[in-house]
Structure 1
Amino acid sequence: MTDQIEVTIRVTNIYPSVGEHLEHVLTVKADAPSDDALDTEEGRQDWIENEFFQYTGEGGDYADLHGSYTVEILDIAKDYRQFIGLQYGAEG
């Protein structure tokens, strides 16, 4: 079983067609980064996508709108401080 750690993230959801720019700061539990995430850029991007992208989007009235979504690591357990500032973004 993978250890769980507490991570503080900033989620930014932008919906240009309605002029909305929404930010949320959340503290969530996540699986600790794997060795691959510690060693490679691709591993880091996969980890942030897999663990935190689920927190993007506003749902409801925004569900059918095109948006851009970004997750940024703001704080994390001391053994993983190199992840602070790491971002992942996508559009859809």
Structure 2
Amino acid sequence: MKAEKNVSFEEAMNQLEAIVTRLEAGDVPLEEALEQFKVGMDLSKYCQDTLNIAEKTLTKIVNADGSEVDFEEPASRSEGE
């Protein structure tokens, strides 16, 4: 089984969880375990890349004029008091 392209983040996570469960059970032949590990690493990278893109998207604010600026977290209340 190869890591599929064009899967949703949720589907990739489900596939990754299934692989981890099978590998943790320990009843997978060595060759299959190695292949599953490789697929799991590909899925893990895809999920991490997707989360990084989402984070970058969410840390942008669109001004009233349509320009984007980086989001800055407000100072904590204890700093301003």
Normalising to structure 1: TM-score of the pair? 0.23
Q: Relative contact order (C-alpha < 8 Å, sep 6+): which is higher? A: 1
The structure with the largest strand share of the pair is 1
The structure with the largest helix share of the pair is 2
